Copies of this chain bind each other. A is one copy, B any other.
Amino acid sequence: MTQKKKDALPEARIAKGFRDIETAELAGLAQMLQTIRGVYERYGFEALETPALEYTDALGKFLPDQDRPNAGVFSFQDEDEQWMSLRYDLTAPLARYVAQNFDRLPKPYRRYAYGPVYRNEKPGPGRFRQFMQFDADTVGTDSVAADAEICMLAADTLEALGIKRGDYVIKVNNRKVLDGLMESVGLSGDENAARRLIVLRAIDKFDKFGEEGVSLLLGKGRKDESGDYTAGAGLDAAQIGKILSLFNVGYANSGTSTVAHLRKLFADTEISRQGLDELDGIASLFDAAGYGNDRIRIDTSVVRGLEYYTGPVFEAELTFEVKGDDGQTVRFGSVGGGGRYDDLVSRFTGQKVPATGFSIGVSRLQAALAHIGAKPKAALGPVVVLVMDKAEIASYQKMVKQLRDAGIRTEMYLGTSGMNAQMKYANKRNCPCVVIQGSNERDAKTVTLKDLIVGAQAAASIKDNKEWKEARAGQVTVAEADLVAEVRKIVELHSGQAS
């Protein structure tokens, strides 16, 4: 064997901006995905899974936000020298799928999809280059009932996940109302496209900077604490005042009465009247189905991205506050959003196919669920059968098999270490109970069971080592024939449920 030099070996490191997900988090994730799937299927959405890789031209090279063209996508050439890209969201593959299979799909087509998406970007705290999205889209209808349904779906999903009513809200706006407002402050027309973007971006910053900050961004510009300067839209006081009215509307008892109120403020253009009519149609469906302001709310401050959406837009927000690890109060804010986009497949076919959809940021939502205690507790580990005598592993294996056949999660210790290391291993696995059979027990046809959780509790209260050893807390010796029944008792005690 040649001895390799240590410094010639590659470093075992995960790629920057990626993360490994371990067992406790995965258990929570699996449960969460199953709950979401259940609600989406009840609404009649069908599952679809498209591949992670697509031809670059079929996927489109651009992320939805048009202010960042060409950036953010992992692309490369395959063996045939065709350019391929990793999907950066689930909407671009949906467009390809719908265009490719248009004739045979039921129309409207409701589909849900979830899975990892990839961004070739500089990662930051909590910002990863692979993360999971969970999308629902209804393709092939411009009915506001489709938009309304997506909002109700979002509300029902959050409640199914254990978020109490009042701890979340689905906010609904219509980009046409914003477009109308732009027109009424003199920002219509192609020549004002750049300024409109600045204004939309400023509105989108309301949660972060408040009215004063947005005011500066709409006017002369804003300098942040670090001294960085963001250029403003250059609007005058009257224009700024009109736009800021978006944030001072409040809401009435029901969605339709909120819209009636909005008509007094924003109905001065054709486009905004159209937007308000759509909002009224949506709100009347909320009223009919009994979704009040405590669940879904018309809110004119919602923007959702930049040039992408064409009509109703939605934002799912968590409204409760929690203490972060650093003692600071944290508000989770947005955990998902979406809206209507009417050119899903036109880049392939030239044909307009209206669609509306909603996307959940899965990791963010899971983090929020963890904070409200909706996350599952760290899973109880397996029962561990210790190996006291290597010549007897066949009989230890037999015990393992009996326990597994009874549905009890069990393993035999597979290492080569002695008793102390085996106990340490069992503790590391969060094992509720070890099974011990030394020669004394074997001769007497018994096994000793050690309840590690009761044992640990006792150890915390007993200071004296001698007293501790004599107490043998959590330890019991039972007949071999009672192995399964006795282990089950201990496991059920700690899992709080019948297995």
Complex copy number for this chain: 2
Q: Is the CB of A416 within 8 A of B143?
A: yes
Chain B positions within 8 Å of A21 at CB level: 48-49
Give the residue name and chain of the B residue nearest to A381 (CB): B44
A428 within 8 A of B: yes
Give the residue name and chain of the B residue nearest to A499 (CB): B42
Chain B positions within 8 Å of A84 at CB level: 15, 74
Alpha-carbon distance between A30 and B121 when the two chains are bound, in angstroms: 32
A484 within 8 A of B: no
Which residues of A415-470 have CB atoms within 8 Å of chain B's CB atoms? 415-416, 425, 428-429
Interface 0/1 of A85-124, CB less than 8 Å to B? 0100000000111011100001110100000101011100
From A204-212, A303-311, A393-401, give the one contacting chain B.
A393-401
Alpha-carbon distance between A328 and B190 when the two chains are bound, in angstroms: 65
Interface of A (DSSP majority class): mixed
Alpha-carbon distance between A346 and B47 when the two chains are bound, in angstroms: 42
Chain B positions within 8 Å of A74 at CB level: 53, 76, 78, 84
Alpha-carbon distance between A53 and B141 when the two chains are bound, in angstroms: 37
From A54-62, A231-239, A267-275, give the one contacting chain B.
A54-62
Interface 0/1 of A378-414, CB less than 8 Å to B? 0001101000000001110110110010011111101
Chain B positions within 8 Å of A411 at CB level: 43-44, 110, 149
Which of B42, B79, B140, B149 makes the CB contact (< 8 A) with A407? B42
Given contacts A26-B49, A55-B15, A414-B143, contact A10 B347 (CB under 8 A): yes
Q: Is the CB of B48 within 8 A of A79?
A: no
Q: Is the CB of B9 within 8 A of A54?
A: no
Number of interface residues of A (CB under 8 A): 109
A247 within 8 A of B: no
Q: Is the CB of B44 within 8 A of A398?
A: no
A16 within 8 A of B: yes
Given contacts A15-B55, A145-B397, A401-B290, contact A20 B50 (CB under 8 A): yes
Alpha-carbon distance between A322 and B250 when the two chains are bound, in angstroms: 67
Q: How far is the CB of A319 from chain B (nearest CB, A)?
A: 23
A481 within 8 A of B: no
Q: Is the CB of B48 within 8 A of A22?
A: yes
Interface 0/1 of A51-77, CB less than 8 Å to B? 111110110100000000000001110
Given contacts A141-B414, A412-B145, A429-B106, contact A51 B15 (CB under 8 A): yes
A264 within 8 A of B: no
